[in-house]
Amino acid sequence: MIRRCWNAQFWLALLFGATAAMAADTEFVTTAKKLIGYINADDQIKIHEMLGPALRGTFTEAKARVYFRSILAARGNLLDVKESVASGGGASLLLGAERGEWRMALTLDRKGQITGLNLTPAGAIIALPERNKTPMRLPFNGEWYVRWGGATAELNRNANIRSQRRALDMLIRDSLHKSHQDEGKANEDYYVYGTDILAPADGTVVMVIDGVPDSKPGTPNGFCAIGNSIMIKHSDSEFSVLEHLMFGSICVRVGDTVKAGQLIGRCGNSGQSNEPHLHFHLQNLPDMEEASGFEPYFQNIRVTRDLRARVERDYSPIRGDSVAQLAVETPTKAAK
């Protein structure tokens, strides 16, 4: 009986210790996530409110501003807590960032205020190109209109989505600037629906989503936002993503090698799309949640704007452009 009681007390003690450790771990993670938000927002006042009195006195707002801005400059915005190990009043946390990871050492007092904080780089910096170095062509033939594209929210509804911030949404319009005939109630009414989608450059297919039915115009499918999609790896830091493809039209598989201009699918209206169109963007990683987007440039295209056409040898389209691919010269070297 004595042994049984002792065993019960022993296991209860272990359980209590584990529960306390989990609670402590949760507290550190919660604090770290809150701090991440303030660091990304450059809110030094809120950051200072999280510090204990002693640390607040030595780590002034001016010093904090310089410190945290250097953190963001080095590896981009902080994303989330990936791992955490708590021990006593301190914890070691692994934080994801746009271009790599940080190891955070964090200590808290009994009130939950920060008494110790240090960030050190973890692993290598992830490359974030300003633009593509791989020469690219438009992922279609014929003249298409850029509905959304550019660096600002006014020009691009994707501008505030990290992995898609320089994305392009493109479709076909007629001389009356309409994207469809008749009333546009059916996908088949839209000029772009069923149009060939081509590989923008040589690469390897690393992701395929197929089997998502095309939605009726005006009734987007929020369950699978990107719809039928293809991701192609062009280099270790250049991945193209083509979304909203037609149900059953994708003709490549993961692992396939593709050439620039090769047919890979057809334009559809799958996913969270109000009407048939092509969404295209470039990102630096294959993971859509971790990746950051960058500006796409295409070689040797005709750009029409305000009824004036010009030829651009290396150009990144913006909203309001109509673009068409001209003959693509065999590249001798990557664009600089």
User: What topology does CATH give the domain 2-122?
Assistant: Nuclear Transport Factor 2; Chain: A, (3.10.450)
Tell which CATH classification among 4.10.93.10, 3.40.1190.20, 2.70.70.10, 2.102.10.10 matches the domain 143-325.
2.70.70.10
- Identify the helix (H) or strand (E) that includes residue 90: strand 90-97
Domain segments of the chain: what residues? Answer: 2-122, 143-325
How many CB atoms lie under 10 A from the CB of residue 242?
A: 25
- The alpha-helical segments, DSSP class H, found in the chain are 2-40, 44-49, 53-58, 61-75
| pLDDT value at residue 22 | 42
**Per-residue DSSP letter, 200:** S
Does this model's pTM top 0.75? My answer is: no
- Rounded CA-CA distance 14/88 in Å is 15
Pull the structure tokens for residue 323.
């673009």
From first to last of its 336 residues, the chain has per-residue pLDDT tens of: 333 333 444 333 333 333 344 445 789 999 999 999 999 999 999 999 999 999 998 999 899 999 999 999 888 889 899 999 988 779 999 999 888 899 999 999 989 999 999 999 998 777 778 899 999 999 999 999 999 999 898 999 988 888 898 999 999 999 999 999 999 999 999 999 999 999 999 999 999 999 999 999 999 988 889 999 999 999 989 999 999 999 999 999 999 999 999 999 999 999 999 999 999 999 999 988 888 899 999 999 999 999 899 999 999 999 999 999 998 655 444 444
Q: Please list, residue by residue across 124-157, b when 16 or more beta carbons sit within 10 angstroms of its beta carbon and e when fewer do.
A: eebebbeebbbbbbbbbeeebbbbbbbeeeeebe
Is 302 exposed, middle or buried, given 0-12, 13-18 or 19+ CB atoms closer than 10 A? Answer: middle
Beta-sheet strands, E only, within 246-318: 257-258, 263-266, 278-283, 293-294, 298-305, 308-315
- Rounded CA-CA distance 41/68 in Å is 10
Is 201 exposed, middle or buried, given 0-12, 13-18 or 19+ CB atoms closer than 10 A? Answer: buried
Find residue 62's DSSP bridge partners. none
Give yes or no on whether 2-122 and 143-325 have one common fold.
no
| pLDDT value at residue 2 | 33
How many CB atoms lie under 10 A from the CB of residue 112?
A: 12
